[in-house]
Structure 1
Amino acid sequence: MAQLDDTMGVTFVGVVVAAILYGVSCVQMFYYFVRYPTDWWHMKLLVSAVWVFDTVHQVLITHTVYTYVITNFGNDMVLGTLVWSLIVEVLFNGFTALLVQSFFVLRIWKLSEKNLWLTVPVLLLVIGEFGAVLAYVIQAMQLGTFAQLDNLKPLSMTVNALAAAGDVLIAVILCTMLHRSRTGFKRSDGLINKLILFTINTGFLTSVCAVLSLITIVTLPNTFIYICFYFTLGRLYSNSLLATLNARKLLRDKASRGESPGGIAIRVDTTKELSRDNASSRYDEPSLKTEIV
Structure 2
Amino acid sequence: MSVVESLNDTMGAAFIGMAVAGFLLGLSFLQAYIYFSEQHDTLVVRSLVGLVVSFDFVHQALISHTVYYYLILNYGDPSALGLVVWSLLAEVIFNGFTAFCVQSFLTWKIWRLSNSNMWVTGVVAALVLAEFGCVIAFGIIALVRVRTFADLATDLKGLSITVNAIAAAGDVLIAGILTWLLQTSKTGFQRSDTMLNKLTIFAVNTGALTSLFAVASLISILAAPNTFIYITFFFCMGRLYTNSLLASLNARKKIRNGGDNVHTTTGHNFSFQSKSFTKPSSFISFGSKRQQEISIQIDTTQELRAQDYSRSCTMSKQNEEYELGGSSTGNISRADIDSTVDIPVLPSEAHFNAV
Instruction: Give the TM-score, by structure 1 length.
Output: 0.89
2:28 and 2:242 in contact (8 A); partners too: yes
Distance 1:63 1:284, change over 3 A: same
Deviation at residue 220 of structure 1 after TM alignment:
1.8
Deviation at residue 91 of structure 1 after TM alignment:
0.3
Letter aligned with residue 286 of structure 1: V
Q: RMSD in angstroms over aligned alpha carbons?
A: 2.4
Deviation at residue 215 of structure 1 after TM alignment:
1.1
Aligned to 1:256: 260
Aligned to 1:76: 78
Distance 1:145 1:272, change over 3 A: closer
1:272 and 1:285 in contact (8 A); partners too: no
Gaps of 5+ in 1: 261-267
Aligned to 1:282: 341
Letter aligned with residue 17 of structure 1: V
Identity of aligned residues (%): 51
Aligned to 1:264: none
Does residue 174 of the first structure (1) align with residue 178 of the second (2)? yes
Gaps of 5+ in 2: 265-314, 321-335
Partner deviation per Cα, 1:37-85 (whole Å, 9 max, x = no partner): x321111111111111000000000000001001111111101100100
SS of 1:258's partner is coil
Does residue 247 of the first structure (1) align with residue 251 of the second (2)? yes
1:1-293 alignment runs, 5 A limit? 1=3, 2-36=5-39, 38-141=40-143, 142-151=145-154, 152-258=156-262, 282-287=341-346, 289=349, 290-293=352-355
1:82 and 1:146 in contact (8 A); partners too: yes
Q: Distance in 2 between matches of 1:131 and 1:236?
A: 20
Distance 1:271 1:247, change over 3 A: closer
Letter aligned with residue 89 of structure 1: E
Q: Distance in 2 between matches of 1:8 and 1:144?
A: 17
2:106 and 2:174 in contact (8 A); partners too: yes
**Higher fraction of helix:** 1
Q: Which moved more, 1:183-192 or 1:40-49?
A: 183-192
1:95 and 1:130 in contact (8 A); partners too: yes
Letter aligned with residue 162 of structure 2: T
Q: Distance in 1 between matches of 2:162 and 2:20?
A: 24
Q: Distance in 1 between matches of 2:255 and 2:339?
A: 35
SS of 1:286's partner is coil
SS of 1:283's partner is coil
Aligned to 2:303: none
Deviation at residue 229 of structure 1 after TM alignment:
0.3
Letter aligned with residue 291 of structure 1: N
2:199 and 2:354 in contact (8 A); partners too: no
Q: Distance in 1 between matches of 2:224 and 2:189?
A: 50
1:12 and 1:65 in contact (8 A); partners too: yes
Deviation at residue 5 of structure 1 after TM alignment:
4.9
Letter aligned with residue 229 of structure 2: I
Greater Cα radius of gyration, structure 1 or 2? 2
Query: How many correspondences in the alignment?
Result: 281
Partner deviation per Cα, 1:160-195 (whole Å, 9 max, x = no partner): 111111111101101001111122234433332232
Letter aligned with residue 88 of structure 2: L
Q: Distance in 1 between matches of 2:44 and 2:96?
A: 20
1:129 and 1:162 in contact (8 A); partners too: yes
